[in-house]
Amino acid sequence: MIYLDNSATTQPDPEVLASFEQVAREFFANPSSIHQFGGKAEQLLHAARKQVADSLKVEPAEIVFTSGGTEGNNMAIKGIALEHQDRGRHIITSEVEHPAVYEACQSLEKLGFNITYLPVDENGTVSAANVKRAIRPDTILITLMHVNNEIGSVMPIREVGNIAKQHPKLFFHVDDVQGLGKMPLTLKNSGIDLCTYSGHKIHGMKGTGILYVDKRTRLFPLMHGGEQERALRSGTENLAGAVAMAKALRLIKQKETDQAKRLQGMQDYLRSELAKLPGVEINSPADAAPHIINFSVPGVKPEVIIHMLGEKEIFISTKSACSSKQKDESKVLAACGFESSRSTSGLRVSLSYENTQAELETFIQALSEAIQQFKEVMR
């Protein structure tokens, strides 16, 4: 089995699983309970929060444990909008955001908010100058992804952060679900007020995630109840999940440091080999994040290739898993300006540090055969 769909989800790390199971067995209590069972659970939750904060170089009070990336994005965007709507009702985002951001913004339009969806260039990147131009006196939020989930394009987060710093009244949220562990991003003094992370994209557990909330940032909560997580996120804490998240984060940060070159090397290999295949067009920009490469084989339905590779136990994907059931055009590829033969035939390979050069060689061989076979049939 060769798994090359790591931007959809990843296989949990055995060490993460071991932590999860140990906590589930030994620290089952409700951290809000005031007896010693609860006390121990609470201590462990503190420790997990501290570890996450240390990994991200922020303060423990700025970490909110969530059920995943979608909740983190919704909590940030709707939380800012509802809390600060008296100050203004304008939000800036881009046309290539993940649905968890894009649709959250659309839902706010129904509530009377005004959203600017910035375009991207042919590299799938938003320009910082366009962000700056879009800022109005009533802008309360800029929300941008760090790394695009379909093509791996990297947004100018540092520049936008610096712009946001000059407008102290607006908040800047980053969806870093795809960048975490692959593209370093500094939070402190970056102008970023909120940042979303997901556990299952970094070999952690599904149902876990983190929202970084700068300590000066006030949010309206998405869920009401027992006021856990500084009243930002009610609900009994998923302690085993939080510990697993902390562990997954520590491990991926280590790999980000130790194995960046190897990951980039694998992508470089794919890029040069794909370029050699007749009929293949590479959609990811040259400076994409090191783990994603998107390409099209115009004239061949992507599902056919997925299926042919699947028979050889090689797994890649079309567009984002979260929108794979919609009509066949990729919104992201269309936004980059690709014509429809290309935007409807996009395929994505997404790597993890667990992949090997040998796996990629097998994949390239299989892909090459698949395309040839298809062309022969269609002749």
Residues in 116-175 at the binding interface with other proteins, rule: CB under 8 A? none
Give the per-residue contact string, 321-350, with other proteins (x = CB under 8 A; - = no): xxxxxx------------------------
Residues in the interface with other proteins (CB under 8 A) total: 72
Q: Return the range that interacts with other proteins (CB under 8 A); candidates 26-34, 52-60, 289-297, 351-359.
A: 26-34
Which residues in 308-341 are b (16+ Cβ under 10 Å) and which e? bbeebebbbbbbbeebeeeeeebbbbbbbebeee
Q: Return the range that interacts with other proteins (CB under 8 A); candidates 133-141, 183-191, 223-231, 280-288.
A: 223-231
Q: Choose between 19 and 190: whose C-beta lies nearer to other proteins.
A: 19
CA atoms of 136 and 231, how far apart (whole Å)? 31
Do the Cβ atoms of 174 and 185 come closer than 8 Å? yes
Task: Tell whether residue 34 is a contact of other proteins (CB under 8 A).
Answer: yes
Among 104, 164, 187, 248, binds other proteins (CB under 8 A): 104
Q: Choose between 149 and 190: whose C-beta lies nearer to other proteins.
A: 149
Task: Tell whether residue 227 is a contact of other proteins (CB under 8 A).
Answer: yes
Q: Choose between 74 and 294: whose C-beta lies nearer to other proteins.
A: 74
Residue list 231-290, contact with other proteins (CB under 8 A):
234-241
H/E stretch holding 108 reads: helix 99-110
Among 15, 29, 264, 312, binds other proteins (CB under 8 A): 29
Among 52, 142, 316, 347, binds other proteins (CB under 8 A): 316
Question: Reduced to 3 states, what is the DSSP secondary structure of residue 135?
Answer: coil
Q: How far is the CB of 174 from other proteins (least distance, A)?
A: 16
Q: Choose between 164 and 364: whose C-beta lies nearer to other proteins.
A: 364
> Which residues contact residue 11 at a Cβ distance below 8 angstroms, ignoring those fewer than 6 apart?
3, 203, 352, 354
Task: Tell whether residue 98 is a contact of other proteins (CB under 8 A).
Answer: yes
Among 53, 100, 128, 263, binds other proteins (CB under 8 A): 100
The torsion angles phi and psi of 349, rounded to 5 degrees, stand at -105, 125
Confirm whether 105 is a catalytic residue: no
Backbone CA torsion sign across 242, 221, 149, 168: negative
CA atoms of 80 and 170, how far apart (whole Å)? 10
The torsion angles phi and psi of 368, rounded to 5 degrees, stand at -60, -45
Q: Choose between 99 and 337: whose C-beta lies nearer to other proteins.
A: 99
Among 9, 123, 130, 264, binds other proteins (CB under 8 A): 9
Q: Choose between 34 and 378: whose C-beta lies nearer to other proteins.
A: 34
* DSSP notation for 51-96: HHHHHHTS-GGGEEEES-HHHHHHHHHHHHHHHHTTT--EEEEETT
Q: How far is the CB of 122 from other proteins (least distance, A)?
A: 26
Q: Choose between 9 and 114: whose C-beta lies nearer to other proteins.
A: 9
Q: How far is the CB of 191 from other proteins (least distance, A)?
A: 25
Residue list 191-210, contact with other proteins (CB under 8 A):
198, 200, 205-208
Q: How far is the CB of 230 from other proteins (least distance, A)?
A: 9
From residue 367, alpha-carbon distances to 170, 292, 298, 357, 376 in Å are 47, 17, 14, 15, 14
Task: Tell whether residue 12 is a contact of other proteins (CB under 8 A).
Answer: yes
- Enter the tokens of residue 34: 């005031």
Do the Cβ atoms of 173 and 141 come closer than 8 Å? yes
Give the per-residue contact string, 57-96, with other proteins (x = CB under 8 A; - = no): ----------xxxxx-xx----------------------
Task: Tell whether residue 310 is a contact of other proteins (CB under 8 A).
Answer: yes
Residue among 105, 92, 171 at smallest CA distance from 132: 92
The torsion angles phi and psi of 347, rounded to 5 degrees, stand at -130, 145
Amino acid at the residue 61:
A
Q: Choose between 101 and 120: whose C-beta lies nearer to other proteins.
A: 101
Instruction: Give catalytic residues, as residue numbers.
Output: 322
